Every structure is written in structure tokens, then in C-alpha cells.
Amino acid sequence: MSVLPVPATAAGHLDWVALAASLPSPPADGPRLPVPDGWVQIPLAGAEQTLFLAEGARYEGIMPQVSLRHVRSTALGDLLTGDVAARWLPLGIEPWTAGAWRGVHVSWSLSRYASTVIRRQWMLDDRQGGLWEVVAETNAYLSHHLSAVLDGMVAGILPAPAAESGLTADLAWSVAAAEEARGRLPAPAADGLVQASAHRGEDRDRIVSGFGADEPAWIIEAGRDHAATVRPRLIGRVWTHGAEALVESSAAGPETAGPETVGLGRYTRDDAADMMLRLVGHRPEGPADVPARLLPAEEFSARLHDPTIPLPTEVPSNAEISQAMDPQDIYRWWTADWSWWSVRRNQDGLRVLTVEGFGHYLWDGAGGVPGADGSMVRVRPVDGLTLFGALTALVGPAGASSDAS
């Protein structure tokens, strides 16, 4: 057996381009991902194709990578079990179609290797009784920048299967498959989430004061429309200092005099978004069926706490914000179960509304549109990956950005 020398760059890093060039090209038997500029193909056992970001060794955490494998089963649930489903936090599940490909896209997050990893998983129907699975793993702080590239890779898989059902039937198949996958997801485990024992009184204060945070804590609160009180529940606090985050899991209810610290843990700042979503119990909802809306602030605020508040008789239709739709859809959205949570510090933060059966939404003051004096609220859909990016922009590594801002 011959041993290949490991090529290195001038900086001493593994030269992935030279390594890929020194390896024999695997046979292209069946569908393959396109190889974008800056990516290299390294053959690995267990996958038909594996790509790495050539400059990935420059970044902390894992090497950004994408793998493609053929699964001789159409049971989507079989790909959503085991270690991944037990430990990873599901961010979103959605139907996915591109050309002749149809399937389901699932996104996950997990804090590991001293940073948070974003895992994106596509399960694509080969229309012959099997599935093609694409799995991409990247560092969370790179996920936003690589998202479009990864989407393009999956959409560009060739050759595509022969399609006879048509776009409408394919979309219906993907929607049904996404619903099946969503129903198979177990509740995420709490391992790694605020593992320390409960701290109260002086002990808790000593730990918090000793952390050395330069800024006040981010306050995390939650509520729902069927709650016995309009007062939000305190879910936790997050302090940041340098590259670290101190996460406090709290419990406060209508019968308690004040917040009780359930756990207190110290993590890397990169882990903060993952931890916060676990604290609020984030779960994937279906793709938002109701697009961005403008709603009267007074009625919206009342509806957050009382499901009997009637739908406003006049809902403005601004071309840049709202889309025309069946009034019955708006009525069903308004009367579904609502829950919400918020992250705030001074004037910064975000607020997330979950409408059961309709998806997750951000809401804020509708600046720049009619009613910008505070009389209107803008409610707009948000997917799990974008929500993760928004939290990272608030409390994660410096320089993080998000489409939700």
C-alpha cells in the first residue's frame, strides 16, 4: 500500500486543492453535485460524493463540507432518527422542489467542537423507490454566507430524475413529505443546555458578577394567548463578555414572587443562539401560509394575550408589505393558537410569534409605511435558519449578519 504525502500551504495548513488533485477521480455513476469555485472533491467511504471548502481550514470549528449518498428507501423518517435527532436542535422543515427534484429540506443546529454547527439535510426523491440525501455541515457564523452556494449545489444535481407528475403534483408530494417528517421529530434533548446545578441568592450573584460582562443581560421572556396572566414568563438571561456567554435558565410564573434560577452555564459566545432557541422550546412549524401583514398595534397587542379579540375589520393592504389573500385565511390565522417569545436589551432585540399551523413570524413597528407613528405593527414570516441568524447577529460572534435584521 502506497502512502501519499500530505501537501501543505506556505502557512502550514493542509493544501486541500493539491490533495484533491493528487487523488484519483471517482467514477461519476449517477447524480452528482456541481463543484463550485473554491470547493474540492475528496472521495470518502459511505458517500457517492463529498465536497470540502478549500479554504475551510482557515476557520475555527469544522471544515465546511457537503456529502451526497443514495439511500435505498423512501422512508423519510428513517433519516430523522438516531444521534442527529436526539441531540441536534431542528430549526426548520420545509418542502423543497427544484426542476425535476422534489423532496424535503431540514435544518439543524448543535453546539460542538467549541462552536455551533449548522447542519442542512435534503432528502430528494429519486422516483425509483429510493432517496438521494445531501448533508451539509458548516460553522454557524459561516452559514449565512454559504447558504446560497449550498442551495445552488442541490438545485444543480445532475442528471435529474425523469419527471412526469408535473410541478403541482411534485409540490403536493413535497408538502406531504415535509408534514410526515415534522411529525417524526422527537423533542430535542436538553444535554448541553445549562448543565450546572441550580444557583440561588448570593451564590448566583457571585457567579454572575464574576463573569465580567460589559453589558446588561439579554432578557428572554415568553407568553401565550391562553395564559392565566398577561405578564410574560421569564425564561432566562444571557450575558456576553469577550468570546464567552453566560446563560441562565429561569422560571417565573404567576404564583412565584420572582424569577428562580434553574441553571447557570458558561459557553462560547458562538453557542448563544442555539442555547436561546432551546430555552424557548423552538420547534419547526409548517412554512408560513400568511405573508407579511400590517395590523393595528392596539388590536394586535390585545390578541397576544386574549384569543377572543376579534379580527380588525380593516386590515391595510400595502403593496410592499401585504399580499392580497382570502379573508378566510387571515381569519384562520388570527383565531389559531398563538405563542410568543422575545429577546431584549435596552432598545435592541427581536420578538417572535408562533401561530400554530401557520409558522413563525417576527413583529416590529412598521417604520417607513403607513402608521409609522406606532399605530401599526408589521408581522412577517421567518424561517428557522433566518431566525438563528438574527439571534447570532444579536449575541453571537462579532460581524455576524442576518436577513431578518
**Residue 310, number of CB atoms within 10 A of its CB:** 11
Residue 316, pLDDT above cutoff 60: no
Confidence of residue 201 (pLDDT cuts 50, 70, 90): low
Of all residues in the chain, the percent with pLDDT exceeding 70 is 80
Q: Where are the domains of the chain?
A: 16-184, 190-405
What CA–CA distance (Å, rounded) separates 152 from 34? 9
Residue 314, pLDDT above cutoff 50: yes
End-to-end CA distance of the chain: 54
Cis peptide before 159 (omega within 30 of 0): yes
Position with higher pLDDT, 259 vs 336: 336
**Residue type (1 letter), 207:** I
Position with higher pLDDT, 12 vs 398: 12
Residue 96's pLDDT is: 93
Q: What is the pLDDT of residues 70-83, one digit of tens each?
A: 987 767 767 776 66
Residue 81's pLDDT is: 66
Residue 273, pLDDT above cutoff 80: yes
Given 3-state DSSP classes, what are the helix, strand and coil percentages for the chain, each rounded to the nearest 5? 25, 30, 40
Residue 135's pLDDT is: 96
Say which CATH superfamily domain 16-184 falls into: Mog1/PsbP, alpha/beta/alpha sandwich (3.40.1000.10)
**Residue 102, number of CB atoms within 10 A of its CB:** 24
**How big is the chain, counted in residues?**
405
Residue 60, pLDDT above cutoff 90: no
Residues whose CB falls within 8 Å of the CB of residue 87, separated by 6 or more in sequence, listed in order: 110, 188, 189, 191, 192
Residue 257's pLDDT is: 42
Instruction: Convert 55-86 to b/e letters by CB count within 10 Å (16 or more is b).
Output: ebeeeebebbbbbbeebeeeebeebbeeebbe
Confidence of residue 187 (pLDDT cuts 50, 70, 90): low
Of all residues in the chain, the percent with pLDDT exceeding 90 is 34
